[in-house]
Structure 1
């Protein structure tokens, strides 16, 4: 069996990511405490819901930070992949938390619709402005890493949705102050919750696909088989497995049946060609091939359990 690691690129900066996460954690602790106090004093459910979301941000950011630390740990004999999946697990946990918080907010919003309360709008306005500024700064800190890292994207989404929630709370506070429209507090809470579900679902789905070893959406197994089968001396490609280990690594494992009993040096040359083809056409950077000649197993099964 031949195994090769090709074209692995990792441009992340764990130390910088960790620093940005710590700053965001501290900012969200300040916001959460301020909004809980303000929500209780003003009677605003939207402010309390925003505080709950901020508290979930704190927990999620801590999970993300721990994941970035573990992801840097070296592999060992009993952890041959190291902790490369730590950030994927963090993304899954954070996406789940977004949806759970949203369900809690929907319940609270319905109860407030049925029983509207007077709300001290001035406090709501000032604290929502604090939330916009602090979360906006955190969003800017994490935006770059969110584009290429699922864990950082989960943290970024928590902060971005919370910034939008603070904008909604500000609008609600202004409407309550100048027009005494107090039902808007519950309406905005419901809107925040639905948006959380919308944003969290895709991330939950993507992280689940990676954890379940599903083939990435961008890759078609049959096309890869066709590409490899066109290489000279290859008779058949079967028993194929393709999975994503983390943000940076996509693995291909397959059995290849050859037309003739080739030399090991010839196989190495063919393996190099396979690696170049699958990397440049499909982004696969880890290739594990089992060569076969005259072996009596099923050559028709492209994939197999």
Structure 2
């Protein structure tokens, strides 16, 4: 029971973190629009448009993270935990698209550099690092995939503003405008590397891949070491949302086994699974002479 409460507390904390990130990002976007018009800087205005998209995806993530806390019902018998994963998927795709747009804009500027407003860049870089930095600190220890994707979403912004800060300081002393797009490309490639890793993990969970660090042959081998179990088959292991894992299996026992022995077998299998950090198990017990073939055996 304590384990369940720990999960619940973690989910609530995650939702609150994403809420803070959403509010900070939205406020800063408004500030960017005002500042972009004030400094007449297209760079800042275009970044404001990028951050407006960020705010939208953060809002979606916050809503889905909250929605994922709902308890299982007759429509969603496994619960709503995967709605958080859906938020991570949407956010990853938006971040991937945003990164490609930044690359598409930055690479031509390496070939034909453009002059930039260094004073406006410097002021908004400091504000951007401070405001987005607060949100990043809130999310740096996030456990859910949704929180981790949001973390990288905001980290992209922080690193982007660090680039603008460095570029604005350098450009105040030397007239080499190509510095800005080169740094932008390097940071974006670093972000893309992390986004692709998270996206692969999200998709593997949606496709019900066996969670990493688990091996079905090894688990089945351990089950066969339990007294009275003759063989094991149709073992399925998947993750609900990256943290909670589920397993189902069929174990074959001797024909002359007693009811008490069956209860003992099931308990030993559950204990083995629980020790591995798997949250839920379904065990189907079959007798040696029982013919488990076809559709009945899935």
The TM-score with structure 2 as length reference comes to 0.89
* Structure 2 residue aligned with 1:212: 207
* Alignment: residue pair count: 293
Matches within 5 A, 1:253-272: 253-272=248-267
Q: 1:290: which partner in 2?
A: 284
Structure 1 pair 153–197 and aligned structure 2 pair: CA distance change class (3 A): same
Q: Kindly indicate whether residue 127 of structure 2 is the aligned counterpart of residue 130 of structure 1.
A: yes
Aligned to 2:176: 181
1:106 aligns with 2:103: yes
Tell whether the 8 Å contact from 2:248 to 2:281 is kept in structure 1 after alignment: yes
1:100 is displaced (CA, Å) by: 0.9
Shift of residue 259, structure 1, vs aligned partner? 2.2
Report whether the alignment pairs 1:164 with 2:168: no
Does structure 2 conserve the Cα–Cα contact (< 8 Å) formed by 1:253 and 1:287?
A: yes
Query: How many angstroms does 1:241 deviate by?
Result: 0.7
Judging changes above 3 Å, is the alpha-carbon distance between structure 1 residues 205 and 42 closer, same or farther for their aligned structure 2 residues?
same
SS at match of 1:10: helix
Is the 2:41–2:120 Cα contact (8 Å) retained in structure 1?
Answer: no
Structure 1 CA distance for aligned equivalents of residues 48 and 112 of structure 2: 21
Larger relative contact order (CA 8 Å, sep ≥ 6)? 1
| Partner Cα separation in structure 2 for residue 184 and residue 38 of structure 1 | 23
Q: Measure the CA separation in 1 of the matches of 2:284 and 2:189.
A: 48
Could you say which residue in structure 2 is the equivalent of 1:197?
192
| Cα distance in 1 for residues equivalent to 2:136 and 2:2 | 34
CA contact (8 A) 2:247 2:282 kept: yes
Aligned partners of 1:121 and 1:176 also within 8 Å? yes
Q: What corresponds to 1:301 in structure 2? A: none
Within the candidate set 246, 251, 255, 1:251 is matched to: 246
Find the aligned partners of 1:11 and 1:18 in 2 and give their Cα distance: 11
Q: Establish whether residue 116 from structure 1 lines up as the match of residue 121 from structure 2.
A: no
**In structure 2, C-alpha distance between the alignment counterparts of 1:17 and 1:279, rounded to whole Å:** 25
How big is the shift at 1:74?
2.1
Q: CA deviation at 1:210?
A: 0.8
User: Structure 1 length normalisation: TM-score?
Assistant: 0.87
CA RMSD of aligned residues (A): 2.5
Of 21, 24, 42, the residue aligned with 2:21 is 24
- List per-residue Cα deviations over 1:230-268 (Å, max 9, x = no partner): 000000011111000124321111111112342333222
What residue ranges of structure 1 are gaps of 5+ in the alignment? 299-303
> Paired residue for 2:234?
239
Q: 1:191 to 1:197 in 2, by over 3 A?
A: same
How far the C-alpha of 1:34 sits from its partner, in A, is 3.2
Other structure's SS at 1:242 match: strand
Aligned mate of 1:10, from 7, 14, 17: 7
